[in-house]
Structure 1
Amino acid sequence: MGELYNPFPKLPKNIRQIGERDQIVKLYVEDYVNTYLRRLYPAGGQDLRVGLLLGSVEMNDGTPYIFIDGAMEMEDVTEQGQKVVFSELAWKKAYQSVEQLFPKRSVQGWFLCGAPGNDLSPLNYWKQHVQYFQGPNKLMYLSSGAEGDESVYITSEDGFYKLCGYSIYYERNQMMQDYMVLRKDVKRIESGSDEKVIQEFRKRMDEHKDEVTDRHQTLGLLRGMCMAMSIVILAGGIVMFNNYERMQEMESVIASAIPERVESALMGKDNAAGKDKPESHVVVEEAEGGVYPTTAAVTKETMSETQPGSQNGAAANSGGAENASGNAAGNGGQE
């Protein structure tokens, strides 16, 4: 809920006020941009260096909040006598560089940096400002080196006037750092009175130059690793798909090669483990000779009769059997 009470737009936390606060426009310039502009020095026969101020603007209760976090110099737009001539080719190159180095940033104005001691008048560039930087709240930044004066002018509904002051804010502005590293040919003022500031500026550029190089190398390495992983995953998927198709083909071949009995036995292997084993059937073959199974008593008598010297007993037994049968017959008759 606390986020609902934050002011809009979200303002930087660490700021430093330059001059008085303007009541019409709130201008915030990033520290790297401010350092770059104050160290930009015409050299090599130049009388002036011109470029674009890049950033964004937000409105709050009718008050424009302008944030400048980029500054880029334009090529081939200056002539002798501190004159500025914009060409179509120069604008084309400038906008291509903005898209590459400062993405998602729009042009909020322009800057003009002259040699020390040469005070720049905004009236000399008023017509070009209105022609090429149309619309309200467009900035014109004029600087005459580190020891010179700097001033900011802006167009508004009331006309063209000088800002009372602006704010410097601090953040990790990587885009501006990268641009300052790329612009190795930028000349800066080197005077004994400002040697400490120059050394600090150089130190910042050297430190961030290594960071930019390391970051580009890391991005290239990560990009290569991602591509390699994608290739490995794709190849693995293809191999797995081929193996799956081969396994299905082998299953179909094996199923067609197994006999029906073996297949049924394999299918019923688990059920056969819980069932009783089938009973074994004994085949009894009959032998010729009139031999039949008898009881145990009859077998004993038969064995005794077959022993040697038992003929008399057999005869006696036969006689007794006849007598018994005769008696039985006689008894029957008496009845």
Structure 2
Amino acid sequence: MEKQFPKNVRQIGNVSDSPKIYVEDYVDTFLNQLCDKTEEEPQGAFLIGEKGMTDGQDCVYISGALKISDIKREGNKVDLPEETMEKAMKECKEYFGNKALLGWCLIFPGHAMAVDEQMASVHEKQFPEENSIFVIKDPKEKEELFFAYKYKDLMQINGHYVYYEKNPDMQNYMISTRKENKVTPSEPVADRAAKDFRNLVREKLEKSDQKQNNKVLYAASTLLLVVILVIGVTMVNNYDKIKAVQTSIEKLSASVAGEGTTKTDEKVTAGEEKNSVNEEDIQEAVGNAYDAEEGIYTVQKGDTLASISKKIYGDLSQVNAIKKMNGLSNGNLIYIGQKLLLP
């Protein structure tokens, strides 16, 4: 099946060139974090994803990135050793399954924002496929240039898209290698527009969920009133029973009106009543979902940030901290199997 264009995108520069390049938001975040960690020596990342045709256009979808373990440098010349490429292939399969190495990103302090002959030679040797990608970034200014390998040369692409979607592979890689790479999903993103973009998408998803919940509540309320009406008609000749129906209607109406807050109130009350738990209580509550040594919790069916905070800490006090550490704005946006860093 032909891949569809991502729905939630923001445009960077002029995107009239071919191929169309799409970079997932977590990858964009990761590359910017590498810039923050780059001092004097060059660093880089391999770009992971897939290529293909979408609506008759050549497209490259970059959904993952792996930090380059070793970049050889001699003066202003860089190289990628064969053992580095072999390691990248293994890590790509480990973290990203069947996705392929599409190219690389180089962060080179003090180097001009341009491709020199040595860089082009390295790229041609390691990524000779048509439409493979090379990115060069300035670690201080966060400026970047994209190039696609076409016609046996690296041709500059003047614009690309950043897109947002669930990306558990990249998130898990960032969490699993946070100590080695010294970057995690919780670190601030230098590109403020990226944060604003992700928040905008989340708000849209939240509004969509709210509309869906309202529809369900409306349907349930309508069904309830129909049932009450039928009961009322069959009992119209019995005054005492009519009074009973009236009382039931009042109680049910009050119940429907308060349904939206009852569960939340119960959670808050439960959280206030229990302010602490011991380690045995935590283990019993979460089973194998929580790795205390690494501070990682794997989301289970029915979990929210509130329920996770209550299971681990005994109350709701850590909800905001969990949100901040994982770049989340709403507990309803987590999904089964997602790994969360806990404070």
Match among 9, 13, 33 for residue 39 of structure 1: 33
Counterpart of 1:184?
Answer: 179
Tell me which residue corresponds to 2:298: 215
Identify which of 157, 160, 165 aligns with 1:166.
Answer: 160
Counterpart of 1:106 (choices 87, 100, 117) is: 100
* Counterpart selection for 1:76 from 70, 73, 78: 70
The one-letter code matched in structure 2 to 1:94 is A
How far off is 1:79 after superposition?
Answer: 2.5
Write the distance in 2 (CA, Å) between the matches of 1:26 and 1:128.
23
Aligned residues: 200
Q: SS of the counterpart of 1:122?
A: coil
Alpha-carbon spacing, 1:13–1:42, altered in 2? closer, same or farther (3 Å) = closer
Q: 2:135 aligns with which of 134, 138, 141?
A: 141
- Per mean C-alpha deviation after superposition, the further-off stretch among 32-41 and 103-112 is 32-41
Report the Cα offset of residue 63 of structure 1. 2.5
Deviation at 1:155, TM superposition (A): 1.3
What does residue range 170-319 of structure 1 map to in structure 2 within 5 Å? 170-181=164-175, 182-186=177-181, 213-215=296-298
Q: For residues 150 and 92 of structure 2, what CA distance do their matches in structure 1 show?
A: 25
Q: RMSD across aligned C-alpha pairs, in angstroms?
A: 3.6
Distance in 1, matches of 2:97 and 2:15, equals: 30
Which SS does the other structure have where 2:161 is aligned?
Answer: strand
- 1:14-38 residue CA offsets vs partner (Å, 9 max, x unmatched): 1000001124211110001011112
Q: Distance in 1 between matches of 2:295 and 2:100?
A: 24
- Residues 217, 49 of structure 1: CA spacing in aligned structure 2 closer, same or farther, 3 A cutoff? farther
SS of structure 1 residue aligned to 2:112: coil
**TM-score normalised to structure 1 length:** 0.52
- Give the structure 1 partner of residue 45 of structure 2: 51
Give the deviation of 1:212 after TM superposition: 8.7
1:205-247 deviations in Å (ceiling 9; x for gaps): xxxx9999322999xxxxxxxxxxxxxxxxxxxxxxxxxxxxx
Q: Is the 1:51–1:74 Cα contact (8 Å) retained in structure 2?
A: yes
Specify the alignment match of 1:264 in structure 2: none
After alignment, is 37-46 or 67-76 more displaced?
37-46
Give 5+ residue unaligned stretches, structure 2: 200-290, 302-343
1:119 equivalent in structure 2 = 112
Q: Is the 8 Å Cα contact of residues 77 and 87 (structure 1) preserved in structure 2? A: yes
Q: CA deviation at 1:184?
A: 2.6
154-163 vs 29-38, greater mean Cα deviation: 154-163
1:19 to 7, 13, 19: 13
CA change 1:194–1:58 in 2 (3 A) is closer
Kindly indicate whether residue 234 of structure 2 is the aligned counterpart of residue 151 of structure 1.
no
What is the aligned-residue identity percentage?
28
TM-score calculated relative to the size of structure 2 = 0.51
Distance 1:105 1:73 in 2: 16
* Secondary structure, counterpart of 2:69 in structure 1: coil
| Structure number, greater radius of gyration | 1
Describe the shift of the 1:16–1:44 C-alpha distance in structure 2 as closer, same or farther (beyond 3 A): closer
